[in-house]
Structure 1
């Protein structure tokens, strides 16, 4: 195996930027897309995803102990959670039911972060005197992030990560309870 250096550096490249590079005629007609730097957002998305996988691992361990018949070769996070609820059949208000609610919240938030499209849009404020010739410099540039069309911040993604960590902790606590 050879080591490769990432062509675009350590960041996720938007497909439409690569598309315009690969098909110059498209870029001539439509222009090259200008996207902001989403590296930090992508990094947090990756952490949310990886933490969700840890929750799934704990749920698989729970199911392997209490209801191996419910396990299937491929299961989504939602299906794992649903199977765990079915297998544990918790009484409302108990520690197990509260923990399963925390896991449910984590699964839903993770799905949003993982499956919704992230865009970091560059907004350039032009001098009002600037016409089509753009002879006057821009007044400023700002980046705005959107996840699934809704505004998102690094802080809100870090909050999603905290929810994932709480979901993993809840799943591990259930697993510990099964052994005590």
Structure 2
């Protein structure tokens, strides 16, 4: 383990901030952010991703119980599709809605990870008048995403992991006599 700090410190930087640092000839960067304003948003994004990885691990275990020779080092979406193929026509009525919930979580995780983040602020009106500036990240396409949105995303990821664990535990573990 190294005790050296990363070049820009222990924080996330926008690519535009790094570009402005590396290539000042491209002009001033009006869209840069230093990460401090968005630290909580990025922390929550990280928790969403880490929780999604737990669901992916359980999906791999489910698939390995359904098909012991199936490769399990695949993304969650592929694992989920393989599980659906294995249970098609052979599952009880509880599995399809559970798999749909997991699929929703996979899609939200993909949006949090793969959409281009833009950190900024929007004015939020109070119902009683006035308002305040709220930091948002538009990592989810055109949708403003604030801490409340990311907490909901984390809740969805936790529900998906819980559901995957329930599915895993509903399967019998193959024994050598099977």
Q: Shorter-chain TM-score: what band?
A: 0.7 to 0.9
Which residue in the other structure is 1:119 paired with?
118
Supply the distance in 1 between the matched residues of 2:169 and 2:133 (Cα, whole angstroms): 51
Report the secondary structure of 1:86's partner residue.
helix
Q: Secondary structure, in 3 states, of the residue corresponding to 1:68?
A: coil
- Say whether residues 1:146 and 2:138 are aligned partners: yes
Change (3 A) 1:41 1:86: same
TM-score (norm 2): 0.78
Note closer, same or farther for the CA distance 1:51–1:31 as it changes in structure 2 (3 Å cut): closer
Cα distance, 1:16 vs structure 2: 1.1
Larger radius of gyration: 1
Pairing 1:1-180 to 2, within 5 Å after superposition: 1-26=1-26, 29-31=27-29, 33-35=31-33, 37-71=37-71, 74-89=73-88, 94-121=93-120, 143-147=135-139, 148-179=141-172
Distance 2:143 2:109 in 1: 15
* CA positional deviation for 1:5: 1.8
Q: Higher helix share goes to which structure? A: 1
1:63–1:93: structure 2 CA closer, same or farther, 3 Å change rule? closer
TM-score (norm 1): 0.78
**What is the distance in 2 between the residues matched to 1:25 and 1:100?**
51
Q: Bigger shift: 93-102 or 104-113? A: 93-102
1:3, distance to aligned residue in structure 2 (A): 1.6
- CA 1:68/1:25 → structure 2, altered by over 3 Å: closer, same or farther? same
The alignment covers a number of residue pairs equal to 162
Question: Gaps spanning 5+ residues in structure 1: where?
Answer: 124-139
CA RMSD of aligned residues (A): 2.6
Q: Specify the SS of the correspondent of 2:13.
A: coil
